[in-house]
A and B are shown apart, each in its own frame.
Chain A
């Protein structure tokens, strides 16, 4: 009786152990154990198809990104070119301060200098390569300086000016001097009317600026 009972306990123990071992083994095989081979193959093919679809999406996205990058780089380059252009144009447009060696021209005359005399000096200084011109430390000379005298007073761009009338030019001092002192040039012309041009080569600092505003003219748009 005792022997039989021990035997039964042993058998039950063995069965229990086997069951536990089996469950452990099943867990090790993960979720696919419930699938048959055909199901596994179908799942592989389905996954493969999905992956291929995503891969083609990825290829397209990568290509588009490369195109975006190229476009971005190109636009960055164009922006740099435009900024450099605007920076450079700040000198003739009169929006930027300009400093450097140059010539200081003082017009000494009994009366007020005429617009013709002033333009004559502007013209010659420009031909000699003046990068920037300024009158009386207050008026920047642009592309179309408006010079006039009203009731014996000199106006440049509507700005009232008084003696001493001084034109400063940034550029090669010797060239600028030569442009005014050649025979029959502005210096001679002024002397004939009893006046004088006092020239002094100097470091010139031009700080006055112009407002780059247009009311009726429309700039042609350069490529963007």
Chain B
């Protein structure tokens, strides 16, 4: 390469001029001095070399130690990072499971609301059908008639099934919505029949005095009953046979349900068993 200054590149110039001329001169001077001094005392070189060796050894030891420490620290760090990764993955999994559980919860809650409404509807329907058919308890205002045969009456003058049937039919025509005789509720499967000295209803024999409880509009029921064909016949019968009859309006009557076994013998009714009184 030619040292033509006009063609020297920037890089070359930087390299060329990196050392100031003064430094160059000083360096040259020192080299000459050392050379001169070394020629003067050749034995003084040994301690210098030992010093250099010690420094070298120190560096080697330090480097080795640094080399030995580094893997240990790296390994610990690696374990920690792996642990953190695992923890984060687990956190994500739990978080996702929780989100799913919350979704499931709102789904279940809405299904429960729907189901509760359906249960309500089904139960209301069953209760109403039970009330009209006589297979569920009902309550309401009404009239209670207490009927007994005349004292010391002969068997022919006793209160019989047909007599009570007359009373019941008259009350039905007058608008009664539920009737029970001595707590035996009259249902679609019930009959009123003589049984010895008593009367048999729902396979149970009831004895006088007969308490006929009818739910209906108290303002009209008793009065309307008197006006019915059966009511008139009943009054004639009461007068002729000397029955003792007392009648009272009640603001609230509770009629029981007819026994469920009457339903059970109805094959067309399917499995209409009474639900257990469970739940809130």
Q: Tell which of A1, A68, A98, A217 touches B108, judged by Cβ atoms closer than 8 Å.
A: A68
Question: How far does the alpha carbon of A198 sit from the alpha carbon of B279 in the complex, in Å?
Answer: 51
Contacts of A94 on B, CB cut-off 8 Å? 132-133, 188
Q: Tell which of B118, B188, B229 touches A92, judged by Cβ atoms closer than 8 Å.
A: B188
Cβ of A119 within 8 Å of any chain B Cβ, yes or no, is yes
Chain A: CB-nearest residue to B229:
A148
Say yes or no: B280 contacts A51, CB within 8 Å. no
Say yes or no: A144 contacts B176, CB within 8 Å. yes
Which of B24-32, B42-50, B167-175, B240-248 lies at the interface? B167-175
Contacts of A124 on B, CB cut-off 8 Å? 191
Cβ of A194 within 8 Å of any chain B Cβ, yes or no, is no
Find residues 146-195 in chain B having any chain A CB closer than 8 Å to their own CB. Answer: 161-162, 165-166, 168-169, 171-173, 176-179, 186-193
Give the size of the chain B interface in residues (CB under 8 angstroms). Answer: 97
Chain A: CB-nearest residue to B14:
A8
Task: With a 10 A CB-CB cut-off, give which of B90, B126, B141, B190 has the most chain A CB atoms.
Answer: B126
Task: With a 10 A CB-CB cut-off, give which of B97, B135, B191, B229 has the most chain A CB atoms.
Answer: B191
Chain B: CB-nearest residue to A155:
B173
Chain A at the B interface: SS class? helix
Which of A13-21, A76-84, A103-111 lies at the interface? A76-84
**How far is the CB of B83 from the nearest CB of chain A, in Å?**
5
Say yes or no: B91 contacts A147, CB within 8 Å. no
Contacts of A212 on B, CB cut-off 8 Å? 128-129, 131-132
Question: How far does the alpha carbon of A126 sit from the alpha carbon of B11 in the complex, in Å?
Answer: 125
Contacts of A41 on B, CB cut-off 8 Å? 80
3 residue pairs, one from A and one from B, having the closest CB atoms: A88-B272, A92-B188, A219-B131
